[in-house]
A and B are shown apart, each in its own frame.
Chain A
Amino acid sequence: DADVTQTPRNRITKTGKRIMLECSQTKGHDRMYWYRQDPGLGLRLIYYSFDVKDINKGEISDGYSVSRQAQAKFSLSLESAIPNQTALYFCATSAQTGTLSTDTQYFGPGTRLTVL
């Protein structure tokens, strides 16, 4: 079974609709992240969370919100979807590895979201 899972894998919705993307992990990691991927732009960080009570904005958080329901679950919401939020969304996890600062992030398979 995959360590980081995302649901749904594909979603088509209409402008103005509320959408929630879910991420679950079985790696026991404390840190979780949401990114979006657009062609030619690489990955950009939307939100990240160090634990259930610690949530931080990334570089492109406008129009998005998140909820860390448990250590293993981190959801991304689009309150009112718009077409330029059409993208591939990835969840990732990592764990602090002592003082050596060698975080490796582990990615889910992605959710392809289309906003019409």
Chain B
Amino acid sequence: GDSVTQMEGPVTLSEEAFLTINCTYTATGYPSLFWYVQYPGEGLQLLLKATKADDKGSNKGFEATYRKETTSFHLEKGSVQVSDSAVYFCARGSGGSNYKLTFGKGTLLTVNP
């Protein structure tokens, strides 16, 4: 079935460090791919998404590229800030209408000043 595997945390970085959080997905169908972010005490918010191979999603300095050949959708940011501290979830749609999302287990990122 559909599954998403993402890098387990926690990840601790200093401010302005480079961030990569790895995410791979099962290659069934043609899913849309998503990164959601959950700030402390809040619900999930869409951070970025990509709908087909080679698409790059970007938002707030974060980027991820839909790599069909490696079934990956790694999240990157060149210079993290303290305010980026949160839990990050990779998710894939179910293919077709993508009405169901399958989430990875989440990666806790802590950025220290």
Partners in one complex: yes
With A40-B105, A101-B96 given, is the CB distance from A107 to B45 under 8 Å?
yes
Interface segment out of the listed A11-19, A41-49, A67-75, A78-86: A41-49
With A104-B49, A109-B43 given, is the CB distance from A48 to B106 under 8 Å?
no
- What number of B residues sit within 8 Å (CB to CB) of A? 23
**Total number of residue pairs linking A and B with CB closer than 8 Å:** 59
Which listed residue (A42, A50, A109, A110) contacts B99, Cβ 8 A? A50
- What would 30 A/B residue contacts be, using CB atoms closer than 8 Å? A4-B43, A31-B99, A40-B105, A41-B105, A42-B89, A42-B103, A42-B105, A43-B44, A43-B89, A44-B103, A45-B101, A48-B99, A50-B99, A58-B100, A90-B43, A92-B44, A96-B97, A100-B51, A101-B51, A101-B97, A102-B51, A102-B98, A103-B32, A103-B97, A103-B98, A104-B49, A105-B46, A105-B101, A107-B43, A108-B43
Residues of B at the A interface (CB closer than 8 Å) are 32, 34, 36, 42-46, 49, 51, 89, 93, 95-101, 103-106
